Amino acid sequence: MEKIMKCEMCGKQHSVDIIKEKTLTYIKDEPVEYEETVYYCCNCDEDEAYYVPSEVMNQNLMKARNAYRKMKGLMTSDEIVTLRKKYNLSQVELSKILDFGEATISRYESKSIQDETHDNILRIVSENPIELLKLLDKNKNQFEEYNYNLIRNHIVDVIEEHDNALIKRRNLENYYAKYSEPTIENGYTLLNIDKLEQVVNFVAFNFSVLNKVLLMKLLWYSDVMSYKEKNVSITGLVYEHKDMGALPLGHSALMELSGIDVRENYSNDFDYPTYTVYPKECDFSLLSEKEKNIILKVCKKFRNYSGKQIAKYMHEETAYIKTEDREIIPFSYANDVRDF
Ligand SMILES: [Zn+2]
């Protein structure tokens, strides 16, 4: 990427080439590969024309350390920030609750790499807010009463949310208890709810008005297209033959998941509410590039379809014609799905 800027190499204003390249470095005596950003002065003829501005040097360092953390299975600095923000805590407050020493969290979020003991504690409180509450109570004397109560109330709220989210996941999981092995019915993929939420949000980001009927068909097409290409589906959902086409088991529970933003609409056209899915901020770390491309292709194909139109289109698939009402649609029909 080229950018016109003041070049630190020759001091002149001109186009500087910004290069990202895989680099090997050593952290704690271990080799770590990460993506380094380097600037290149296109005005100089010498080999010495590469340089790294100081703020970029810090970013490179952070990247290298996060690559090391990932390699070691430790939480990254971003994950620690996310954890702290979830509980609405300052760096000092979180340090005090965990009894780490006041500056510790600040260091983990900026430069130092946590040891395994601290990493374990961070991971436990990240996954389980009750453990954080216990630690807060244990270290209560570190806080003023007023502040302690504020923090405690917030953690209690997070616990409630966390419980609700778990119940909703269980509701969906219950439908899939029977499908705990990879089979032709789930496309040789076990249901992964985190990934499913990412798929739904990825579709929502790439679709302007996404109603429930459309979403369900887009999920089916993404899964069968993936199966057709790679012999495995993406989400692990199991689909039933219904009037409106393929419908995943537990579709109502799916729409309730806390990682998905679904809103009810009431209009004069229907005497029942319709559901619209909105994109929710999330990372797509569980989706491979190939999977993203498949989903994008499906979204592109059906961009201008209404729920009714896509249902009609699906009715003409062999997978639909050859199955009966309420029968599971096996992925063996994926090869017959019309290409687009
Ligand atoms: Zn220059």
Q: How much distance in Å is there from the Cα of 25 to the middle of ligand 1?
A: 26
Q: How much distance in Å is there from the Cα of 65 to the middle of ligand 1?
A: 29
**To the nearest whole number, what is the mean pLDDT of the chain?**
93
The predicted structure's pLDDT at residue 305: 92
* Contact assessment for residue 203 and residue 159, using Cβ atoms and an 8 Å cutoff: no
Q: How much distance in Å is there from the Cα of 9 to the middle of ligand 1?
A: 5
Q: How much distance in Å is there from the Cα of 56 to the middle of ligand 1?
A: 17
pLDDT in tens, 121-180: 999 999 899 999 999 999 999 999 999 999 999 999 999 999 999 999 999 999 999 999
Q: How much distance in Å is there from the Cα of 39 to the middle of ligand 1?
A: 10
Identify any residues that bridge with 274 across adjacent strands, giving them in sequence order.
Answer: 265
Give the residue from 128, 130, 138 showing the smallest Cα distance to 97: 138
Torsion of CA 225, 255, 248, 197, to 10 degrees: 40
Q: How many helices (H) and strands (E) does the chain have?
A: 13, 9
pLDDT in tens, 3-60: 888 888 888 888 888 999 999 999 989 999 999 999 988 777 666 788 899 889 988 9
H helices of the chain, in order, are 54-72, 77-86, 91-97, 104-110, 116-127, 129-138, 145-175, 193-205, 212-230, 251-256, 289-301, 307-315, 318-321
Q: Given its phi and psi angles, is residue 290 left (phi above 0), alpha (psi -120 to 50 degrees) or beta?
A: alpha
Q: How much distance in Å is there from the Cα of 59 to the middle of ligand 1?
A: 22
Q: How much distance in Å is there from the Cα of 244 to the middle of ligand 1?
A: 63
Q: How much distance in Å is there from the Cα of 40 to the middle of ligand 1?
A: 8
Strands laid side by side in the 2-6 sheet? 2-6, 13-27, 30-41, 50-51
The token pair that represents 280 in the structure block: 């929710």
Q: How much distance in Å is there from the Cα of 222 to the middle of ligand 1?
A: 48
Rounded distance between C-alpha atoms, residue 102 and residue 288, angstroms? 39
Q: How much distance in Å is there from the Cα of 55 to the middle of ligand 1?
A: 18
The predicted structure's pLDDT at residue 8: 85
Beta-carbon contacts of 184 under 8 Å, excluding residues fewer than 6 positions away, are: 330, 331, 332
* Contact assessment for residue 220 and residue 246, using Cβ atoms and an 8 Å cutoff: yes
Q: How much distance in Å is there from the Cα of 37 to the middle of ligand 1?
A: 17
pLDDT in tens, 311-329: 999 999 999 999 999 999 9
Q: How much distance in Å is there from the Cα of 195 to the middle of ligand 1?
A: 45
pTM above 0.85, yes or no: no
Q: How much distance in Å is there from the Cα of 13 to the middle of ligand 1?
A: 7
Q: How much distance in Å is there from the Cα of 107 to the middle of ligand 1?
A: 35
Domains of the chain are 2-72 (3.10.20), 77-164 (no CATH), 193-336 (no CATH)
